[in-house]
Amino acid sequence: YATKIVLGIETSCDDTSAAIVTSDRQILSEVVKSQQEMHEPMGGIVPTLASLGHSRHLPNVICETLDRAQLSISDIDAIAVTRGPGLPPCLPVGLNAAKTLAAVHKKPLIGVHHMEAHALTARLTTPTPFPFMTLLISGGHTLLLTANGLGDYDALGTTLDTAVGEAIDKVARALKLEWEGKSSPGPALERAAALGDPSRFTLPMPLLQRKKSMIAFSFSGLKTSVERQIQDQVQTQQDVYDMAAAFQLTCIQHLEQKLKLALHQEITMQKKPLTALVVSGGVASNALFRSKLEQVAALYDLPLVCPPPKLCTDNGVMIAWAGLERLEAGLLDDYTITTLPRWPI
């Protein structure tokens, strides 16, 4: 059984990234070219600008990824690339590069689902057999699903409005937190919340009344309530910390409530027993989210599997790893595939 080597390319959002990963779980190299400086003054990601950034940087990012691994393209067994979901002008930059490289060098091409890649990343660091429950919490998604096998997922619930990470980013901006060179305001919110008292402000718990028994998430009402209270009641630095703490805790408690509903449902349905709760996506790099969700998993005798923070944010490694899993299962694509910006999992 020969070790396989896959190059992964990711251009679904604002970071241009590539990585080379082996089937024996070695990350040979990874390069991320952040576009944060370009988007920060705009107050959010501008898709057409992001696409231009990918066009500009992707060739050098791929070159550097190969150089750092001291490999040439002929050493690579397959090229994996994010096919969707993602920003419509951004996805084709990565996909076209991958298709052309693969076609010219006669390598297999693997189109990867970005959210499947987030879910599978856990298996790179911690071998986790199917089925497992996954909570994907990122800037674009809040998605709870059961992973039954490669390409086989039961979506249990998603957000009815904005993603948890998007709400975090908006609230962090409303609180005027400093980013300090990070690729998103999330870590700044976590740092501010650690200095605050979460009980100082009363915030509405989402989906607690009419939709109490529904497995779904909602963050826009909470976000609006926080923004309103910031205008009226947040003045001192301590107010900022306290509001950050109250908001962060409400987000976590909302996720906990719905996760318990889903775990209860999956366990009483008595299918093949779950092996783990996997939590990934950018928000999973937050230590308090992780520890609270670990407590919920423990109630159901499940281990919490969390990829290391670095692998929780968008990166080429997760695409390369998802590509490896697909390569080994013989799930290849041909050179005519196109992007799927709204690809359901």
Q: What does the binding site for ligand KG4 look like in residue numbers (CB under 6 A)?
A: 13, 138-140, 165, 168-169, 184-187, 189-190, 281-283, 285-286, 313-314
Distance CA 258, CA 263 (A): 9
Please identify, among the stretches 16-24, 26-34, 132-140, 284-292, the one whose residues bind Zn ion according to the rule CB under 5 A: 132-140
Q: Closer to ligand KG4 at the Cβ: 107 or 113?
A: 113
Do the beta carbons of residue 32 and residue 19 sit within 8 Å?
Answer: no
Task: Specify the DSSP class assigned to residue 24.
Answer: T
Which partner, Zn ion, ligand KG4, none, binds residue 86 by CB below 5 to 8 Å per kind?
A: none
Minimum CB–partner distance for residue 339 and ligand KG4 (Å): 16
Q: Closer to ligand KG4 at the Cβ: 45 or 78?
A: 45
Q: Closer to Zn ion at the Cβ: 5 or 279?
A: 279
Which partner, Zn ion, ligand KG4, none, binds residue 286 by CB below 5 to 8 Å per kind?
A: ligand KG4
Q: Which of 17, 128, 138, 159 binds Zn ion (CB under 5 A)?
A: 138
Sign of CA dihedral 84, 88, 91, 92: positive
| Adjacent-strand bridge partners of 110 | 80
* Window 258-297: contact mask with Zn ion (x via CB under 5 A): ----------------------------------------
Q: Closer to Zn ion at the Cβ: 125 or 275?
A: 125
Please identify, among the stretches 130-138, 169-177, 201-209, 330-338, the one whose residues bind Zn ion according to the rule CB under 5 A: 130-138
Nearest alpha-carbon partner for 10 in 25, 26, 21, 2: 21
| Adjacent-strand bridge partners of 20 | 7, 29
Minimum CB–partner distance for residue 314 and Zn ion (Å): 4
Q: Give the residue ranges of DSSP H helices in 34-148.
A: 36-39, 47-68, 91-104, 114-125
Residues 6+ apart with CB under 8 A from 245: 192, 193, 194, 195, 196, 197, 198, 200
Q: How many CB atoms lie within 10 A of CB 149?
A: 10
Size of the site for Zn ion (CB under 5 A): 2
Minimum CB–partner distance for residue 159 and ligand KG4 (Å): 12
Minimum CB–partner distance for residue 281 and ligand KG4 (Å): 5
Residues 6+ apart with CB under 8 A from 115: 85, 136, 141, 143, 345
Q: Closer to ligand KG4 at the Cβ: 311 or 327?
A: 311
Burial (CB count within 10 angstroms: exposed 0-12, middle 13-18, buried 19+), residue 132: buried
Residues 6+ apart with CB under 8 A from 221: 161, 204, 206
Q: Quick one: tokens of 208?
A: 């607690």
Minimum CB–partner distance for residue 63 and ligand KG4 (Å): 24
Please identify, among the stretches 87-95, 135-143, 165-173, 263-271, the one whose residues bind Zn ion according to the rule CB under 5 A: 135-143
**Can you spell out the DSSP letters for 201-233?**
S--PPTT-STTTTS--B--HHHHHHHHHHHHHH
Residue of closest CB approach to Zn ion? 314
Nearest alpha-carbon partner for 166 in 138, 203, 189: 138
Q: Closer to ligand KG4 at the Cβ: 266 or 314?
A: 314
Q: Which of 314, 317, 320, 333 binds Zn ion (CB under 5 A)?
A: 314
| Adjacent-strand bridge partners of 22 | 5
Q: Closer to Zn ion at the Cβ: 314 or 333?
A: 314
Q: Closer to Zn ion at the Cβ: 172 or 207?
A: 172
Minimum CB–partner distance for residue 108 and ligand KG4 (Å): 26
Does the protein bind Zn ion through residue 166 (CB under 5 A)? no
Q: Closer to ligand KG4 at the Cβ: 100 or 224?
A: 224
Residues that bind Zn ion (CB under 5 A): 138, 314
